[in-house]
Amino acid sequence: MTVRIRFFARFRELLGTDIVVDAPKNKGLSDLVKDVAGKNQEGYDAIFDEKGAFREYVILMQNGKRVETSDAPAIRVAEGDEIAVFPPVAGG
Amino acid sequence: MSTVKIPCVSSRAGTLVFPIIPVKQMLSRRERERYKRQMMLFGDEGQERLKKANIFIAGAGGLGSPVSIYLAVAGVGTLTVVDKDVVEQTNLNRQILHCDRDIGRKKVVSAEEKLHAINPDITVKVIDTTIDESNCAQLVGRADGIVDAMDNYPTRYLLNDIALEKKIPLFHGAIRGFYGQATTIIPGKTACLRCIFPSAPPKEVFPVIGVTPGFIGMIQVNEVLRYLLGTGELLANRLLIWDGMTAHAEEIAVVRNPACISCGTGHISKDTTAVKAKKITTGKKK
């Protein structure tokens, strides 16, 4: 099944813009993002901590709805899902 | 205060009469000329609304510069600008209120001078201080809205809490590099800043090109003006995300978090918040 992952801001610089993934059925949301982010160590480290958990400031959305990153390992992605991953920017 | 005669039809006699109705003549001839082209959009009433408004601008840096300049030229009657920093050379690629000769001067002094020169018909109040938990409520005072032109989340959270407490809108903006974000927080109606961003990103010396705070600052000003004018559709429960690398703006729907520690059931007492906030500083705008 096809799932689209969209990174924003700093994550986009490290990992690319829109990434279309051919994911197996019942793939976990957390694992999906890890697979894609794993292609660039710096990008992976920006999103995940050393234990493989989402960093606390990461914003994760599934089809426009906010997902708590702590729930992400248990959430399954579905055909046509759009996942957005972004960090809040802080400058002013 | 002066009075004008407004013709109307008396319901009793059915005849045209001229009751004396007090109408505050707020706009001078000079102001009418200055704002002529925008009053074509929203008339006397709209311009008077702007003139009566008091907007609190937290920060006179990358965002605070374009925000204050455009609020000034639009004729927002009172601007309160707060910043503690001194102008540095590294500020000048984006902080357009300040110029080379201002290096070493207080940002608020430079801001007051420029804003007064740009529009002498408005009142500019500047406060040279660091916004912290002990003074934030007093600094904001009876403002009609807060513009978030800060460079750090601890102070943003503080402004968010004060906006909620005073029930005034918070116009959020933030930038990094070519990227930016903006949203408008209406207490009691929309997600607050903590609903959207419960955790702050790590502190850093962020890269930035001047056009990015320029762009996001204009979004914020556009929000403030339309809020004051009561027109259009605000960025309420919508987070606008700007990608300057692809010249692409998009928005993400955001919702209130019922358990939010600022506006939801997770709200904690002021005393506890104070302990949590500790002494929050605006930090340097590098």
Q: Which residues pair with B181 in a beta bridge?
A: B174, B241
pTM: 0.85
Taking the CA of residue B30 and the nearest CA in chain A, the distance in Å comes to 34
Partner A contacted by B139 (CB < 8 A): no
Q: What is the CATH number of the domain that holds B142?
A: 3.40.50.720
Domains of chain A by range and CATH? Answer: 2-86 (3.10.20.30)
pLDDT at A18: 85
How does pLDDT run along chain A (92 residues), one tens digit per residue? 999 999 988 899 899 988 999 999 999 999 999 999 999 999 999 999 999 999 999 999 898 778 889 999 999 999 999 999 999 999 99
User: A92 and B149 in contact by Cβ < 8 A?
Assistant: yes
- Half-sphere exposure (CA, 13 Å, Cβ side) for B264? 16
User: A88 and B175 in contact by Cβ < 8 A?
Assistant: no
Instruction: Find the angle CA(A28)-CA(A34)-CA(A37) to the nearest 5 degrees.
Output: 140
B86 CB-near residues (< 8 Å, 6+ apart): B104, B105, B106, B107
Cβ(B116)–Cβ(B103) under 8 Å? no
Domain count, chain B: 1
pLDDT at B123: 98
Residue B11 within a domain: no
Q: How confident is the model at residue B253 (pLDDT cuts 50, 70, 90)?
A: confident
Partner A contacted by B182 (CB < 8 A): no
What is the DSSP pairing of strand A18-22 with strand A2-7? antiparallel
Residue B19 within a domain: no
User: Stretch B188-216: mean pLDDT, rounded?
Assistant: 94
Prediction ipTM score: 0.80
Residue B4 within a domain: no
User: B204 and A17 in contact by Cβ < 8 A?
Assistant: no
User: B213 and A91 in contact by Cβ < 8 A?
Assistant: yes
pLDDT in tens, B135-165: 999 999 999 999 999 999 999 999 999 999 9
User: Stretch B266-271: mean pLDDT, rounded?
Assistant: 59
Residue B247 within a domain: yes
User: Stretch B230-248: mean pLDDT, rounded?
Assistant: 94
Residue B127 within a domain: yes
Nearest to A92 among B61, B202, B246 (CB): B61
CB-based burial, B153-164: b 16+ in 10 Å, e otherwise? bbbbbbbbbbbb
pLDDT in tens, B22-70: 445 589 999 999 999 999 999 999 999 999 999 999 999 999 999 999 9
Partner B contacted by A68 (CB < 8 A): no
pLDDT in tens, A34-53: 999 999 999 999 999 999 99
H-helix or E-strand spanning residue B147:
strand B145-148
Residue B233 within a domain: yes
- Cα separation of A80 and B78, whole Å? 50
Q: What is the dihedral sign for C-alpha A66, A70, A76, A77?
A: positive
User: B153 and A90 in contact by Cβ < 8 A?
Assistant: yes
pLDDT at B272: 39
Partner A contacted by B206 (CB < 8 A): yes
pLDDT higher than 50, residue B6: no
Nearest CA in chain A to B251: A64
Instruction: With beta carbons under 8 A apart, name residues in chain B contacting A61.
Output: 252
- Cα separation of B242 and B162, whole Å? 27
Residue B13 within a domain: no
Nearest CA in chain B to A9: B179
Q: CB contacts < 8 Å between A and B, how many? A: 81
pLDDT at B251: 87
Taking the CA of residue A17 and the nearest CA in chain B, the distance in Å comes to 10
pLDDT higher than 50, residue B10: no
Determine the structural domain holding residue B72 and report its residue range. 31-277
